[in-house]
């Protein structure tokens, strides 16, 4: 999240959400970012994220990355129950090919693999992004 105070941000979202209303939250995953920065290698961002959970994002802004447990706790603290969550960009993160240049059958295979891994308990936590679906209490 590009939020310095995620607790406050999520409480404000809760105020805007009807009772039993849904919230879709997409945020950076800590474990996936650590793996990505270690593989690049991007030692500056790797040290920063290991020290503080924050790193410089693509827009040159400080971004926080979270573990699935941290997001679950933040959402609960703001008055939401987590219904489900998924990893995003697990398999395809280091794929540097241009999507527009891929043959349709190759793209279909990549998408099928990414979608299937997004909900596998052992894999989804290493997504570059984590997608949470929650309902207001």
CATH number of the domain to which 78 belongs: 3.40.50.150
Structure confidence at residue 3 as a pLDDT band (50, 70, 90)? confident
1 lies in some domain: no
Residues of the domain holding 63: 6-136
Return the pLDDT at 137: 94
Closest CA to 79 of 32, 31, 5, 137: 137
Would you say residue 2 has pLDDT above 80? no
The total number of structural domains that make up the chain: 1
- The pTM (predicted TM-score) of the whole model is 0.85
119 lies in some domain: yes
24-47: pLDDT as tens digits = 999 999 999 888 888 878 888 888
Instruction: Specify whether the CB–CB gap between 86 and 127 falls below 8 A.
Output: yes
104 lies in some domain: yes
42-92: pLDDT as tens digits = 888 888 888 888 888 878 888 899 999 999 999 999 999 999 999 998 877
């Amino acid at each position: 999240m590009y939020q310095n105070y995620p607790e406050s941000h999520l409480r404000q979202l809760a105020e805007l959400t009807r009772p039993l209303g849904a919230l879709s939250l997409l945020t950076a995953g800590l474990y996936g970012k650590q793996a990505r920065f270690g593989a690049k290698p991007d030692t500056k961002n790797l040290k920063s994220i290991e020290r503080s959970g924050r790193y410089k994002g693509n827009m040159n802004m400080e971004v926080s990355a979270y573990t699935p447990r941290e997001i679950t706790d933040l959402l609960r603290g703001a008055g939401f129950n987590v219904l489900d969550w998924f990893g995003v960009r697990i398999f395809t993160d280091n794929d540097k090919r241009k999507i527009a240049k891929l043959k349709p059958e190759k793209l279909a295979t990549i998408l099928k693999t990414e979608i299937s891994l997004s909900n596998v308990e052992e894999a989804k936590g290493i997504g570059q992004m984590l997608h949470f679906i929650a309902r207001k209490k």
